[in-house]
Amino acid sequence: MEEALRAYGAGRIDGLDGSRDTAQAEDPATGADYRRGFLDGRLEVFRMFAGVRDLLRGDD
């Protein structure tokens, strides 16, 4: 379980950074957890930029 959480965390950090580690993503044991974390990190960045766009437009 700890390995899965570490892989998820690493994927989330990489997702926030915008750089994917292909070796970790393809790991048979923890690749799915890494990819899920990566996707969550990318979604967080998308939501942050959407919020900034809303602020700049004056949307509530």
* Tens of pLDDT, residues 25-50: 999 999 999 999 999 999 999 999 99
**CA-CA distance, 39 to 51, in Å (whole number)?**
18
9 falls in which pLDDT band (50, 70, 90)? Answer: very high
Residue 7 sits at the vertex; the CA angle it makes with 45 and 32, to the nearest 5 degrees, is 85
Q: What is the pLDDT of residue 59?
A: 65
Please give the pLDDT value at position 58.
84
Q: Which pTM does this prediction carry?
A: 0.86
Res 60: pLDDT: 60
Exposed / middle / buried, residue 2 (Cβ in 10 Å: 0-12, 13-18, 19+): exposed
Task: Tell me the average pLDDT of the chain.
Answer: 95
31-57 vs 2-17: helix crossing angle, rounded to 10:
40
d(CA 60, CA 25): 37
Residue 41, Cβ neighbours under 10 Å: how many?
Answer: 22
